[in-house]
Amino acid sequence: MSFQPVKFYQTGTFTVGNRLLPPEERSVQASAKRYNSINSGHRACQGCGEALGARYAIDAAMEAADGQIIAANATGCLEVFSTPYPETSWQIPWIHSLFGNTAAVATGVAAALKVKGKRDVRVVAQGGDGGTTDIGFGCLSGMFERNDDVLYICYDNGGYMNTGVQRSSATPPAARTATTMAVGPEPGNVFGQGKFVPAIAMAHDIPYVATATVADLRDLEAKVSRAMEIRGARYIHILVPCPLGWGTASHDTIRMARLAKETGIFPVFEAEHGEIKSVLTIRRPLPVEEYLRPQKRYAHLFGKNPAVETIAHIQALADRNIRKYRLEARQGSH
Amino acid sequence: MLKQTEGSRAVAEAVALCRPEVICAYPISPQTHIVEALGEMVKDGSLAPCEFINVESEFAAMSVAIGASAAGARSYTATASQGLLYMAEAVYNASGLGLPIVMTVANRSIGAPINIWNDHSDALSQRDSGWLQLFAETNQEALDLHIQAFRLAEELSLPVMVCMDGFILTHAYERVDMPTQAQVDAYLPTYEPRQVLDPADPVSIGAMVGPEAFMEVRYLAHAKQLQALERIPAFAAEFRQIFGRDSGGLTHTYRTEDAETIIVAMGSVLGTIKDVVDEMREEGHRIGVLGITLFRPFPIARVREGLQGAKRVVVLEKSMAIGLGGILSTNVRMALSGLHMHGYTVIAGLGGRAITKKSLHGLFREAEQDALESVTFLDLDWNMVNKQLEREKAHRRSGPVAENLLRDVGVVAARNY
């Protein structure tokens, strides 16, 4: 007899309440035995998406590797807020070397573990979008093409937030940063620039590439767990809203991440060996304006004379994502 | 075992005897033969267990070595010239983190103009990076210094750069005495890291340090180099016991007893200088040589001790502090502070310019007459220089300097001004 299991969604979200699930279905983070790999007391801003993403991602990796994780960390917010002198939040072996070499440092750690026969110890590298898509991109691509046994996680908040909100190659078009000022005839970041590194990672034919957001933390955990089942180069790109850089309220971080996904601005998918295997479809399609309007970095689009054409351009990009990644909700699915 | 082999091959074999566990390779002349030979040993299984990683840049090479060393593996790489500059940020990082990486620098000039030949500009550009720097005079010494470098690096938990002259040593076939595995094993114990990335005992390596402790961390780096200064002679003595020859140490003097004029230099040019000194000694000149093996930490006391009896010191160096004069000579001068003697800086052999016995004979005789300029450029073609200076006076758009000089010497057939 077929039956529809009842799900209990948390108000205003599509997240199933953990306490209402059987223990084996609960999230890693819901467990009292979670690792707390990045412990409380760090100095991230209120509502920091990166701190949240890192907490879920690294604990999920720890769970999958039975506590045998070594992490390499790029310079950036995560590094600075987690290890301000004389404290560290890391309960795992952790190394920060430079801004642009994290993937290579992780390769070195993985090589050392291999030569010493420590196959059970796994390596995670992590950095922000600046450390990943810009300055660390050469080392990242090298690690990918050699298929080194490293899971690289990029926490993408769309700019160099640690240095005071400057543009990176992951800053979206029209967004205001300190180096894409909201002035002149075309205020904010330029259209037609930037790169989407998950697609470039896929072009390396590595075994696993996924995107995720901090709006769907179960999905994020599942992707980290899946990545940890695989050997070789793996890449997870997590959208992590930044209240400081985006000009959003601290309590809106998860809502902003969800809106990025539901508008098609940020496609959430996973791919194996360059082929997309699954996507998170959009449950209730929303116009991009819903996502843009609460963010001060787009305030210049919504003054007395709204930048209708610019908003339409962003909508067209989101629509293209929806077509390209097949994000439209299929009938009868959730 | 005595064998006739290429310098690079000899170094590769010596490095292999040190049982490196991770080797990162990126091609740049003239170090390439070293990592090629090591790569072959790893691939055919004769060097095992060892991971040989072809990286995408020198910056990645040093970064992979950093990761591997922090995870407890004996790590090695080699580079030269532009490659060393390209990895500079990671070079400083490796020493700042206290990771005992050993790196060969096959000394080569730095462009522009691009030039693949030997001088010491590359290694000396990193003199304040916190790495120990050893300079080999011969292929035998290059080989021996690598074995000592691993010992030194791991005992002190500091990275060590072994510098050998590009092409002059790396590509020269010479007789070397290759140690046995048993000798190297007796000299070099298993690597026991001071810090290691280990899930059983988690540590954070590379945390931020603010004004509260940064000075102290930097001072400790200095203090560790001073410790190295004290311990290196003992390491060299132990090396002599096991391997039966003198190699390494701080400095080497040659015929300096009663010398009025002492020539100071580093690297392979010491061989030519010693030949000239031998010939001049036969003619009754009171001249000797102080060869510097250890450039960082700089053996100030030993240099002072070796030079203080002289009337004049001539520092002949394959490097240059543009806008000042010499790099080595500035260091030597510091060692001689307060002593009354003539001091001369001679910049020679940049970009592979041959340093000939004939030129040295003339130079040293001039020095003995105290007729040298305080900064001398050996065998500089003043015609070429003056012609270019004239050209720049005459024409605003005087064109690229290197192309102009090549045209002057007839290499490029093109328009003339």
Does residue A312 contact residue A188 with C-beta atoms inside 8 Å?
Answer: no
Angstroms from B143 CA to nearest CA on chain A = 25
Residues B368 and B405 occupy one common structural domain: no
Residue among A80, A93, A145 minimizing CB distance to B198 = A93
Please indicate, yes or no, whether residues B404 and B314 belong to a single structural domain of this protein: no
Q: Name the closest residue on chain B to residue A68, using Cα atoms.
A: B199
Within chain B, how many helices (H) and strands (E) appear?
A: 15, 16
Pair B27, B165 in one domain: yes
ipTM (interface predicted TM): 0.95
d(CA B237, CA B292) in angstroms, rounded, equals 17
- Give bridge partners of residue B344 from the DSSP assignment: B314
Same-domain pairing of B55 and B197: yes
Question: Taking 80 as the threshold, does the pLDDT of residue B151 lie above it?
Answer: yes
Residues B157 and B103 placed together within one structural domain of the fold: yes
Look at residue B417 in the predicted model and tell me its pLDDT: 47
Confidence (pLDDT) at A53: 98
**Across the interface, do B73 and A92 touch by the CB < 8 Å criterion?**
no
Instruction: Give the residue on A whose Cα is nearest the Cα of B66.
Output: A105
A42 CA to centre of own chain: 19
Separation between Cα atoms, residue A101 and residue A163, nearest integer Å = 18
Q: Per-residue pLDDT tens for B20-44?
A: 999 999 999 999 999 999 999 999 9
B61 lies in some domain: yes
Say whether B75 and A113 touch across the interface (CB within 8 A). Answer: no
Same domain, B144 and B255: no
Last residue of a domain, one of B202, B224, B243: B243
Neighbouring-strand partners of residue B59: none
* C-alpha Rg value of chain A to the nearest Å: 19
* pTM, full prediction: 0.96
Considering the domain architecture, whether residues B211 and B276 belong to the same structural domain is answered as no
Q: How far apart are CA B109 and CA B151, in angstroms?
A: 29
The C-alpha of A105 sits at a distance from chain B's nearest C-alpha, in angstroms, of: 4
Contact B70 A105 (CB under 8 A): yes
Average pLDDT over every residue of B214-234: 95
* B101 and B73, same domain (yes or no): yes
Number of domains in chain B: 3
Q: Which run of H or E residues covers position B133?
A: strand B132-135
Specify the pLDDT at position B148.
97
Which residue from A170, A151, A150 is spatially nearest to A159, judged by alpha carbons?
A170
Would you list the domain boundaries of chain A? Answer: 28-324
Picking from B22, B42, B95, B197 by the largest number of A CB atoms within 10 A of its own CB, the best residue to mutate is B197
pLDDT at A334: 43
> Which of B218, B243, B268 delimits the end of a domain?
B243
- Rounded-to-integer distance, Cα B64 and Cα A231, Å: 19
Residue with tokens 């010494």: B141
Q: Which residue has the higher pLDDT, A5 or B62?
A: B62
Mean pLDDT over the full length of chain B: 96
Regions in chain A scoring below 50 on pLDDT: 1, 332-334
Residue B255 resides in a domain: yes
pLDDT in tens, B69-92: 999 999 999 999 999 999 999 999
**Contact: A100, B207; criterion CB under 8 Å:** no
C-alpha B102/C-alpha B68 separation (Å) is: 12
B210 plus B85 within the same structural domain: yes
**Which residue segment(s) compose the domain that B322 sits in?**
251-377
Task: Report the C-alpha gap between B143 and B11 in whole angstroms.
Answer: 5
Which of A68, A80, A109 lies at the smallest CB-CB distance from B68? A109
Residue at which a domain ends, from B212, B243, B274? B243
Alpha helices in B205-267 (DSSP H): 214-243
CA distance A1 to chain B (A): 48
Q: B18 and B75 in one domain?
A: yes
Q: How far apart are CA A164 and CA A178, in angstroms?
A: 7
- State CA B58 to chain mean position distance: 18
According to CATH, the superfamily of the domain at A28-324 is Thiamin diphosphate (ThDP)-binding fold, Pyr/PP domains (3.40.50.970)
Q: Which of A83-92, B170-179, B327-336 has the lowest mean pLDDT?
A: A83-92
Residues of A with CB under 8 A from a CB of B: 67-70, 72-73, 79-80, 83-86, 88, 90-98, 100-101, 104-117, 121, 138-139, 141-142, 145-146
User: For residue A297, which amino acid is it?
Assistant: R
- Going by pLDDT thresholds of 50, 70 and 90, the confidence category of residue B94 is very high
CATH classification of the domain holding B300: 3.40.50.920
B57·A138 Cβ contact <8 A:
yes
Query: CA-CA distances (angstroms) from residue A120 to A66, A69, A123, B185?
Result: 9, 9, 10, 29
Which pLDDT score is estimated for A22? Answer: 79
Distance CA B409, CA B119 (A): 22
| Helices B139-156 and B7-17: angle between axes, nearest 10 degrees | 30
pLDDT at site B410 = 81
Half-sphere exposure of B352 (CA within 13 A, CB side): 17
Which chain B residues are within 8 Å of A147, Cβ to Cβ?
none
Q: Among A254, A134, A267, A118, which residue's Cα sits nearest to residue A202?
A: A267
Task: Give dist(CA A52, CA A29) in Å, integer.
Answer: 11
* Residues B78, B99 within the same domain: yes
For residue A113, give the nearest of B197, B158, B155 by alpha carbon. Answer: B197
Q: Is residue B285's pLDDT more than 70?
A: yes
Q: Are residues B197 and B281 in the same domain?
A: no
